[in-house]
Amino acid sequence: MNIDVAHVGGDVSATVTAVGNTAEILTMTDSKVTNTQVNKGAVGAKLNATVNHVGGDTWLNATAVCNAADVSTDPNVTDVHNIQICKSPDPSAQVNAQVFNTGGDVGVGAIAIANQLSIDSNAASFPVNNDQENTSGMAAIVNAGIGNIAGSVSASSTAVGNSAQIVQYNTGGH
C-alpha cells in the first residue's frame, strides 16, 4: 500500500496484512483435530506512507503471517495434532513512513510471524501434539522519519519464528 495524506482534521490509520494460511476451528463435542499448514510462497506486507498536517493521531501498521491456527473445544475429550511448516522466503512486514506536523500521537509498527498456534479447551482428557518448523527468512522492518508531533511517538518491530499458547481450563464439570 502506498499512501500520501495531507491536511486531515481527524485521525489517519493505515494497515496492510498478508496471511499465507489461517484456520479457526471450534468444536463442542469430543473431537480429534488435525491441522496441517505448509506455506512455501511469499507472504509480504509493505506500507509506504507520507503523512503531513494531521489534527489527530496517526497509526501505521504492517503484519505478515505465514501460518496461524486457533482451536477452541469444549467437550470431555479433545485430541489436537498441529503441524505448521513455514518455508516462505519471507514472511516480511515493512513500514516506510514519513510523518510530520501531527496534533496527536503517532504509532508505527511491523510484525512478522512464521507459525502461530492457540488452543483452549475444558476437556478433562486433552493431549496435544504440536510440530512447528520455520526455515523462512523473516523480517519486520520499520523505517521512519517523524517530526513536529504534539503527542507521543511509538515505534515497534517484531519478528516471531514459532509461537504456541495452550490453555486447559476447568469449568467445574470435570
- Is 1 domain-assigned? no
- Is 4 domain-assigned? no
Burial class of residue 151 in the structure, from the number of CB atoms within 10 Å of its CB (0-12 exposed, 13-18 middle, 19+ buried) = middle
- Is 107 domain-assigned? yes
- Is 174 domain-assigned? no
- Is 129 domain-assigned? yes
The residue count of the chain comes to 174
**The domain containing residue 157 runs over which residues?**
15-25+33-168
pTM recorded for the entire structure: 0.91
- Is 98 domain-assigned? yes
How many structural domains is the chain composed of? Answer: 1
**Cβ atoms of residues 114 and 63 within 8 Å:** no
The cell for 2 is 502506498
User: What is the pLDDT at residue 172?
Assistant: 64
- Is 80 domain-assigned? yes
User: What is the pLDDT at residue 173?
Assistant: 56
Among the listed residues 59, 49, 62, 138, the one whose alpha carbon sits nearest the alpha carbon of residue 93: 62
List the pLDDT tens digit at each of the 174 positions of the chain.
999 999 999 999 999 999 999 999 999 999 999 999 999 999 999 999 999 999 999 999 999 999 999 999 988 999 999 999 999 998 999 999 999 999 999 999 999 999 999 999 999 899 999 999 999 999 999 999 999 999 999 999 999 999 999 999 886 654
Rounded to whole angstroms, the Cα distance separating 26 from 147 reads: 46
User: What is the pLDDT at residue 74?
Assistant: 86
- Is 66 domain-assigned? yes
User: What is the pLDDT at residue 143?
Assistant: 98
